[in-house]
Amino acid sequence: ETGVTQTPRHLVMGMTNKKSLKCEQHLGHNAMYWYKQSAKKPLELMFVYNFKEQTENNSVPSRFSPECPNSSHLFLHLHTLQPEDSALYLCASSHHGGTSYEQYFGPGTRLTVT
């Protein structure tokens, strides 16, 4: 595997379900991110982890719970979601503290909440 991978690619869940999204980066980066992308809206930053520590929570509802066990893996635990949470969820990684700050994105998980 290369780059940033995400699983599953598609997820349909009911409002009472609990599910998790997984992200893995193979780039040797030390920062990881979760973004939400809804139609006709800019990418919304949800969470930032630097060296496994959460450094930003962008006022995200508690029904979204991130977990970063190491600098290569990132999870987003989902529970009691609402239909408006349906969106493309993107994971990204970057090198924090260096001279290049570009973020590399995974393919995303298309989430539909019914």
Partner 1 sequence: EDQVTQSPEALRLQEGESSSLNCSYTVSGLRGLFWYRQDPGKGPEFLFTLYSAGEEKEKERLKATLTKKESFLHITAPKPEDSATYLCAVQATETSGSRLTFGEGTQLTVNP
Beta bridge partners of 57: 47
Type of residue numbered 5: T
Q: Single out the segment in contact with partner 1 by CB under 8 A; choices: 14-22, 65-73, 75-83, 86-94.
A: 86-94
Measured from the CB of residue 37, what is the shortest distance to partner 1 in angstroms?
Answer: 9
Quickly count: other Cβ atoms within 10 Å of residue 34's Cβ: 24
Please report whether residue 96 would count as binding partner 1 according to CB under 8 A.
Answer: yes
Please report whether residue 43 would count as binding partner 1 according to CB under 8 A.
Answer: yes
How many residues touch partner 1 (CB under 8 A)? 28
Q: Return the structure tokens found at 36.
A: 């939400």
Of residues 28, 42, 69, 83, which one binds partner 1 by CB under 8 A?
42
Instruction: Supply the DSSP string of 38-101, one letter for each residue.
Output: -TTS--EEEEEEETTEEEEE-S--TTEEEEEEETTEEEEEEES--GGG-EEEEEEEE-SSSS--
Q: Which is nearer to partner 1, 71 or 94 (CB)?
A: 94
Interface residues with partner 1 (CB under 8 A) are 4, 6, 31, 33, 40-43, 45, 48, 50, 55-56, 88, 90, 92, 94, 96, 100-108, 110
